[in-house]
A and B are shown apart, each in its own frame.
Chain A
Amino acid sequence: LAKTTQPISMDSYEGQEVNITCSHNNIATNDYITWYQQFPSQGPRFIIQGYKTKVTNEVASLFIPADRKSSTLSLPRVSLSDTAVYYCLVGDVSSGSARQLTFGSGTQLTVLP
Protein backbone atom coordinates (compact mmCIF):
# COMPACT_ATOMS: atom_id res chain seq x y z
CA LEU A 1 0.00 0.00 0.00
CA ALA A 2 1.29 3.42 -0.86
CA LYS A 3 1.73 5.45 2.29
CA THR A 4 1.01 9.14 2.06
CA THR A 5 2.54 12.06 3.92
CA GLN A 6 0.86 15.45 4.13
CA PRO A 7 1.38 18.53 6.27
CA ILE A 8 -0.74 18.32 9.40
CA SER A 9 -2.09 21.82 9.03
CA MET A 10 -2.02 24.93 6.85
CA ASP A 11 -3.36 28.44 7.23
CA SER A 12 -4.38 30.74 4.43
CA TYR A 13 -6.35 33.92 3.85
CA GLU A 14 -9.48 34.40 1.84
CA GLY A 15 -8.87 34.90 -1.87
CA GLN A 16 -5.47 33.24 -1.88
CA GLU A 17 -4.46 30.16 -3.81
CA VAL A 18 -3.68 27.19 -1.60
CA ASN A 19 -1.41 24.33 -2.58
CA ILE A 20 -1.34 21.16 -0.49
CA THR A 21 1.36 18.66 -1.33
CA CYS A 22 1.21 14.95 -0.65
CA SER A 23 4.19 12.60 -0.79
CA HIS A 24 3.68 9.01 -1.91
CA ASN A 25 7.13 7.62 -2.65
CA ASN A 26 6.06 4.00 -3.13
CA ILE A 27 3.15 4.60 -5.47
CA ALA A 28 2.46 1.61 -7.71
CA THR A 29 1.93 1.57 -11.47
CA ASN A 30 -1.84 1.01 -11.19
CA ASP A 31 -2.38 3.55 -8.42
CA TYR A 32 -4.43 6.68 -8.88
CA ILE A 33 -4.28 9.74 -6.64
CA THR A 34 -7.54 10.95 -5.15
CA TRP A 35 -8.22 13.91 -2.90
CA TYR A 36 -11.15 14.22 -0.52
CA GLN A 37 -12.46 17.06 1.62
CA GLN A 38 -14.06 16.49 5.01
CA PHE A 39 -15.98 18.94 7.16
CA PRO A 40 -16.57 18.20 10.86
CA SER A 41 -19.19 15.52 11.46
CA GLN A 42 -19.60 14.82 7.75
CA GLY A 43 -18.40 12.11 5.42
CA PRO A 44 -15.52 12.86 3.04
CA ARG A 45 -16.40 14.47 -0.26
CA PHE A 46 -14.59 13.69 -3.54
CA ILE A 47 -12.62 16.62 -4.91
CA ILE A 48 -10.43 15.39 -7.73
CA GLN A 49 -8.60 12.35 -9.04
CA GLY A 50 -5.65 11.91 -11.37
CA TYR A 51 -3.00 9.54 -12.63
CA LYS A 52 -0.34 11.82 -14.11
CA THR A 53 0.37 15.38 -15.28
CA LYS A 54 -2.44 17.81 -14.55
CA VAL A 55 -6.14 17.43 -13.93
CA THR A 56 -8.53 20.33 -13.49
CA ASN A 57 -12.19 20.50 -12.58
CA GLU A 58 -14.54 23.22 -11.43
CA VAL A 59 -13.20 23.29 -7.87
CA ALA A 60 -9.52 22.33 -7.97
CA SER A 61 -6.45 21.33 -9.93
CA LEU A 62 -4.21 18.38 -9.31
CA PHE A 63 -0.57 18.46 -10.35
CA ILE A 64 1.36 15.21 -10.59
CA PRO A 65 5.03 15.21 -11.62
CA ALA A 66 6.45 12.64 -14.00
CA ASP A 67 7.80 10.39 -11.24
CA ARG A 68 4.37 10.44 -9.52
CA LYS A 69 6.01 10.33 -6.10
CA SER A 70 4.09 13.38 -4.99
CA SER A 71 1.03 15.36 -5.94
CA THR A 72 -0.24 18.86 -5.26
CA LEU A 73 -3.83 19.85 -4.76
CA SER A 74 -4.40 23.46 -5.77
CA LEU A 75 -7.43 25.38 -4.55
CA PRO A 76 -7.85 28.73 -6.31
CA ARG A 77 -9.07 31.74 -4.34
CA VAL A 78 -10.12 29.96 -1.16
CA SER A 79 -13.01 31.17 0.98
CA LEU A 80 -13.86 30.63 4.62
CA SER A 81 -16.04 27.69 3.64
CA ASP A 82 -12.99 25.84 2.35
CA THR A 83 -11.81 25.35 5.93
CA ALA A 84 -11.75 21.56 6.23
CA VAL A 85 -9.50 18.52 6.39
CA TYR A 86 -8.09 17.43 3.04
CA TYR A 87 -7.04 13.84 2.49
CA CYS A 88 -4.75 12.49 -0.19
CA LEU A 89 -5.42 8.84 -1.03
CA VAL A 90 -3.36 6.63 -3.29
CA GLY A 91 -4.49 3.29 -4.58
CA ASP A 92 -5.67 1.06 -7.35
CA VAL A 93 -9.16 2.37 -8.05
CA SER A 94 -9.97 -0.56 -10.25
CA SER A 95 -9.72 -2.84 -7.28
CA GLY A 96 -12.86 -3.80 -5.41
CA SER A 97 -11.18 -3.32 -2.09
CA ALA A 98 -11.19 -0.09 -0.13
CA ARG A 99 -8.09 -1.50 1.49
CA GLN A 100 -6.29 -0.04 -1.48
CA LEU A 101 -7.42 3.44 -0.45
CA THR A 102 -5.93 4.16 2.95
CA PHE A 103 -6.56 7.44 4.68
CA GLY A 104 -3.49 9.25 5.95
CA SER A 105 -3.54 11.91 8.60
CA GLY A 106 -4.95 14.58 6.32
CA THR A 107 -4.24 18.32 6.25
CA GLN A 108 -6.33 20.71 8.30
CA LEU A 109 -6.73 23.82 6.15
CA THR A 110 -7.87 26.91 8.00
CA VAL A 111 -8.90 29.89 5.90
CA LEU A 112 -8.71 33.16 7.78
CA PRO A 113 -10.66 36.33 6.95
Chain B
Amino acid sequence: GAVVSQHPSRVICKSGTSVKIECRSLDFQATTMFWYRQFPKQSLMLMATSNEGSKATYEQGVEKDKFLINHASLTLSTLTVTSAHPEDSSFYICSARRGGPNTGELFFGEGSRLTVL
Protein backbone atom coordinates (compact mmCIF):
# COMPACT_ATOMS: atom_id res chain seq x y z
CA GLY B 1 0.00 0.00 0.00
CA ALA B 2 0.87 3.64 -0.23
CA VAL B 3 3.42 4.91 2.25
CA VAL B 4 3.22 8.55 1.14
CA SER B 5 -0.22 10.06 0.60
CA GLN B 6 -1.27 13.33 -0.97
CA HIS B 7 -4.53 15.23 -0.66
CA PRO B 8 -6.39 16.37 -2.65
CA SER B 9 -5.72 14.31 -5.75
CA ARG B 10 -7.47 16.86 -7.93
CA VAL B 11 -8.34 20.48 -7.33
CA ILE B 12 -9.86 23.14 -9.53
CA CYS B 13 -9.74 26.74 -8.42
CA LYS B 14 -10.30 30.22 -9.72
CA SER B 15 -7.43 32.48 -10.60
CA GLY B 16 -6.24 34.49 -7.62
CA THR B 17 -7.18 31.98 -4.97
CA SER B 18 -4.81 29.91 -2.84
CA VAL B 19 -4.67 26.14 -2.79
CA LYS B 20 -3.14 23.88 -0.15
CA ILE B 21 -1.84 20.39 -0.91
CA GLU B 22 -0.97 17.99 1.89
CA CYS B 23 1.68 15.29 1.86
CA ARG B 24 1.74 12.66 4.60
CA SER B 25 4.14 9.84 5.34
CA LEU B 26 1.85 7.07 6.52
CA ASP B 27 3.99 4.61 8.45
CA PHE B 28 7.27 6.39 8.99
CA GLN B 29 8.65 9.70 10.07
CA ALA B 30 10.20 11.92 7.46
CA THR B 31 12.38 14.80 8.53
CA THR B 32 12.73 15.71 4.88
CA MET B 33 10.11 15.71 2.16
CA PHE B 34 10.41 16.90 -1.41
CA TRP B 35 8.01 18.68 -3.74
CA TYR B 36 8.07 18.24 -7.50
CA ARG B 37 6.09 19.73 -10.36
CA GLN B 38 5.40 17.94 -13.59
CA PHE B 39 3.93 19.46 -16.74
CA PRO B 40 2.29 17.28 -19.41
CA LYS B 41 4.70 15.05 -21.30
CA GLN B 42 7.62 16.31 -19.22
CA SER B 43 9.76 14.93 -16.44
CA LEU B 44 9.53 15.77 -12.76
CA MET B 45 11.21 18.97 -11.67
CA LEU B 46 12.27 19.38 -8.05
CA MET B 47 10.75 22.54 -6.61
CA ALA B 48 11.85 22.48 -3.00
CA THR B 49 13.06 20.42 -0.09
CA SER B 50 10.83 20.58 2.96
CA ASN B 51 12.61 20.30 6.30
CA GLU B 52 10.75 19.54 9.52
CA GLY B 53 11.00 22.43 11.93
CA SER B 54 12.92 24.73 9.62
CA LYS B 55 12.57 26.67 6.39
CA ALA B 56 12.27 24.90 3.10
CA THR B 57 15.07 24.98 0.56
CA TYR B 58 13.88 26.13 -2.84
CA GLU B 59 15.39 25.30 -6.20
CA GLN B 60 16.57 28.09 -8.44
CA GLY B 61 13.72 29.78 -10.22
CA VAL B 62 11.01 28.67 -7.78
CA GLU B 63 9.30 31.58 -6.03
CA LYS B 64 9.22 30.86 -2.32
CA ASP B 65 6.56 33.50 -1.67
CA LYS B 66 4.29 31.87 -4.21
CA PHE B 67 4.86 28.27 -3.21
CA LEU B 68 4.68 28.23 0.58
CA ILE B 69 5.93 25.06 2.22
CA ASN B 70 5.29 24.12 5.82
CA HIS B 71 6.67 20.98 7.46
CA ALA B 72 5.12 21.20 10.89
CA SER B 73 5.46 17.57 11.90
CA LEU B 74 7.49 14.51 11.04
CA THR B 75 4.64 13.10 8.98
CA LEU B 76 3.13 16.12 7.26
CA SER B 77 4.32 18.69 4.75
CA THR B 78 2.02 21.16 3.01
CA LEU B 79 2.46 23.10 -0.22
CA THR B 80 0.32 26.20 -0.63
CA VAL B 81 0.10 27.76 -4.07
CA THR B 82 -0.75 31.37 -3.34
CA SER B 83 -2.66 33.61 -5.75
CA ALA B 84 -2.79 30.82 -8.28
CA HIS B 85 -2.81 31.61 -11.98
CA PRO B 86 -3.51 29.39 -14.99
CA GLU B 87 0.22 28.90 -15.58
CA ASP B 88 0.43 27.23 -12.15
CA SER B 89 -1.79 24.43 -13.45
CA SER B 90 0.33 21.32 -13.15
CA PHE B 91 0.77 17.95 -11.46
CA TYR B 92 2.38 18.37 -8.05
CA ILE B 93 4.08 15.37 -6.46
CA CYS B 94 5.68 14.97 -3.05
CA SER B 95 8.14 12.36 -1.87
CA ALA B 96 9.84 11.25 1.31
CA ARG B 97 12.76 9.01 2.11
CA ARG B 98 12.06 6.22 4.55
CA GLY B 99 14.56 4.93 7.04
CA GLY B 100 17.95 6.12 8.22
CA PRO B 101 20.58 7.98 6.31
CA ASN B 102 21.77 4.84 4.56
CA THR B 103 18.37 3.75 3.31
CA GLY B 104 17.82 5.00 -0.17
CA GLU B 105 14.27 4.24 -1.14
CA LEU B 106 12.38 7.39 -2.02
CA PHE B 107 8.60 7.02 -1.87
CA PHE B 108 6.32 9.25 -3.90
CA GLY B 109 2.79 10.38 -3.28
CA GLU B 110 -0.01 9.82 -5.75
CA GLY B 111 0.24 13.37 -7.03
CA SER B 112 -2.17 16.31 -6.99
CA ARG B 113 -3.46 17.79 -10.22
CA LEU B 114 -4.11 21.50 -9.95
CA THR B 115 -6.21 23.26 -12.55
CA VAL B 116 -6.48 27.02 -12.28
CA LEU B 117 -9.29 28.57 -14.28
Contacts and interface: CB of A to CB of B under 8 A. Distances in A.
A42 B43 contact: no
A92 to B, nearest CB: 9
Contacts of A46: 105-107
Interface residues of A, number: 23
Interface in A62-113: 87, 93-94, 96-99, 101-106
Contact of A94 (B31, B95, B102): B102
A83 B92 CA distance: 22
Instruction: Give the secondary structure class of B's interface.
Output: strand
Contacts of A99: 46, 49, 59
Interface in B101-117: 101-111, 113
A43 B36 CA distance: 10
Contacts, number: 62
Contacts of A102: 46
Contacts of A32: 104
B81 interface: no
Contacts of B6: 43
A43 B110 contact: yes
Nearest to B95: A98
A45 B34 CA distance: 15
A44 interface: yes
Interface in B64-106: 91, 93, 95, 97, 101-106
A100 to B, nearest CB: 10
B43 A105 contact: yes
21 contacts: A32-B104, A34-B104, A36-B108, A41-B113, A42-B111, A43-B4, A43-B95, A43-B108, A43-B111, A46-B105, A49-B105, A87-B44, A93-B103, A93-B106, A94-B101, A96-B97, A97-B49, A98-B49, A101-B106, A102-B46, A103-B44
